[in-house]
Amino acid sequence: MTELFSAGILGIIEGLTEFLPVSSSGHLIISGHLLDYTGPKATVFEVFIQLGAILAVVMLYLNRFLGLLKNTPEVPFSGIRGLWMLFLTSLPASIIGLLLSGYIKTYLFNPITVSFALAVGAVFILCVEKYAPAHDIEQATFHSLDEMTPKLAFGIGCFQCLALWPGFSRSAATIMGGMLLGTRRTLAAEYSFLAAVPIMFAATGYDVLKNYQLFTTADIPFFAVGFIVSFVSALVAVKAFITLVGKMTFKPFAWYRLIIAPLVYLFWT
């Protein structure tokens, strides 16, 4: 029962933080240490429960994903063109992640490095909010998914590489990167949700296949609880975030990160 409780806690944390610019992986690493759930199996579990959060986004944007299955001339972000842009966004981080996955897991999956990533990511958010051309709606170049271009998609993908540093946040990297490249705030958030699906599916599948021998049937309930709780939590978080993103800046997330970063550092030093 204690293990299932831990799985539920980690599932809640994953679901609530995966699509917010606060870093789900950073929060999971910190929580895993507090719950004394660490090691190779814990790392794969933390990746696996991201599938629950991904499924929540697929459900919320089901029509958009179904639209990728056929070319619709009047909807530019559809069919092969839409898939091509998601591929371009996923490509840079996929390549670098494959090349550096061993190094990242060995040296960056710990609370100390996470605390630095939280702080650096917070400064990045504050700078973008102040200087990005699209921090103001009128100054944005791109306002909807159908205005997306391959160049913009690839550029956002390059920013997504920052998220390979656990604690930086994939959402923060892609949303802020999109704003720097001229997307409207709401578009940056929406595209960040969609772009999460292919790269997170790939990363999760790779990790599970690579480490499946670590698990037994006894682990199924633990993984199932984490997955389900992550899915429900992500549904709530994404719906709330969509409602708020057009009414507020991302500065509160930056200040939150700046508050917890030194606390995490001091706790583990």
Structure confidence by residue, pLDDT tens digits, 186-217: 899 999 999 999 988 887 777 777 777 777 78
91: Cα separation from own chain's centroid: 15
Please give the pLDDT value at position 134. 57
The pLDDT tens digits of the residues spanning 235-244 come to 999 999 988 8
Q: Return the pLDDT at 36.
A: 85
pLDDT tens digits for range 31-67: 888 888 887 778 778 888 888 999 999 999 999 999 9
Provide the pLDDT confidence category of residue 135 given band limits of 50, 70 and 90: low
